[in-house]
Amino acid sequence: MIDKLEFFIALANEKHFGRAAEECGISQPTLSAAIRQLEDQLGVMLVQRGSRFQGLTPEGQRVLEWARRIVGDTRTMREEMRAARKGLSGHLRLASIPTALAMLPRITTPFQERHPDVTFSIVSRNSLQVLSMLENLEIDAGVTYLENEPLGRVTAVPLYSERYHLITAAGSPLSDRETVTWREVGDLRLCLLTADMQNRRIINRHLAEAGASAHPTLESGSMIVLFSHVRTGRWASIMPRNVAESFGFPAEIRMIPIVEPAAHHSVGLVATHREPFTPLVSALLHEARILAERESL
């Protein structure tokens, strides 16, 4: 039953029998047979079938909620028993908004020093994708904004506040200023994150509140791409100070606080709320709380 529920979750995530089978490491006929057996066991149709996957039935949507809960609890039990046998080990899957990627070593490094048998994989995603991956059991925890959009049923540990700065090359417009306003920044040649990123939506909102608007001539989902274009001197960008500092900007790059308003937005670690947490997630939340306490001193 557990295997079939995992196959069903994969199908709901991938929305394609072939991709779901590949994700599970089985053949497509094996996956299809398992889903039909699950339907027979439960006595309901779970999948709307045609020449291709057409979605879940209402009963399938409800079973999906149970499947996520049951599979999540099963993984928790297995991890807890493994930890009881041989200490904390395993693999943690994390997803982070791009602006928070640079601070992750402040969690993963001390965590790995305490638990050397734990490995990590980290992907960059927008805030909505982070929450979706949590819900679909594709990651163990995420790092995202905590205040601006609904998080759902998660446990959250605030880590730091983003404070926004104009990042520009020396000698470019406004580079000699001690502070700049959002209205002034809106007139510059900007490179910014793409519109699907919550950071971009935050920037757009603050510009609009100041009577300006963002018309970037370059967009990217990568902070490294933005930084490399700022270094040419032809673009400026708006970045949180902690991100800008992580690049080790040379002297010819200026970081100028943006005021009116001096905006800040909370970023934190989130994990699907469940009792108990897996040993790995519990240890990760503990590490995040240590960092948050250190940041508040």
pLDDT digits (tens, 9 = 90+) for 196-214: 999 999 999 999 999 888 8
Determine the pLDDT at residue 249.
Answer: 67
Identify whether residues 110 and 241 lie together within a single domain: yes
Identify whether residues 32 and 177 lie together within a single domain: no
**Domains held by the chain: number:** 2
Determine the pLDDT at residue 149.
Answer: 78
Residue 38's Cα: distance from chain center in Å? 32
Determine the pLDDT at residue 51.
Answer: 63
CATH number (domain holding residue 60): 1.10.10.10
Determine the pLDDT at residue 18.
Answer: 87
Domain that holds residue 16: 1-85
Q: Which residues of the chain have pLDDT under 50?
A: none
Q: First-to-last CA distance in the chain?
A: 49
Q: How far apart are CA 84 and CA 139, in angstroms?
A: 23
**Which residue, 55, 85, 115, sits at the end of a domain?**
85
**63-68: long-range contacts (C-beta < 8 A, 24 or more apart)?**
63/8, 64/8, 64/9, 64/12, 67/5, 67/6, 67/8, 67/9, 68/9, 68/135, 68/136, 68/137
Q: What is the tens place of the pLDDT at every residue in 201-260?
A: 999 999 999 988 888 999 999 999 998 999 888 999 999 988 888 877 666 889 999 998
Residues 146/259, Cβ–Cβ less than 8 Å = no
**Which residue, 64, 85, 106, sits at the end of a domain?**
85
Q: For residue 194, which amino acid is it?
A: T
Identify whether residues 100 and 192 lie together within a single domain: yes
Q: For residue 290, which amino acid is it?
A: I
Q: How far apart are CA 170 and CA 173, in angstroms?
A: 9
Identify whether residues 156 and 291 lie together within a single domain: yes
Identify whether residues 15 and 139 lie together within a single domain: no
**Which residue, 33, 59, 85, sits at the end of a domain?**
85
Identify whether residues 201 and 266 lie together within a single domain: yes
Q: What is the per-residue DSSP string for 157-217?
A: EEEEEEEEEEEEETTSTTTT-S-EEHHHHTTS-BEEE-TTSHHHHHHHHHHHHTT-----S
SS3 96: strand
Express as a percent the part of the chain with pLDDT over 90: 47
Tokens 């959009």 sit at which residue? 149
Identify whether residues 145 and 259 lie together within a single domain: yes
Residues 94/139, Cβ–Cβ less than 8 Å = yes
Q: Which two tokens stand for residue 261?
A: 């308003």
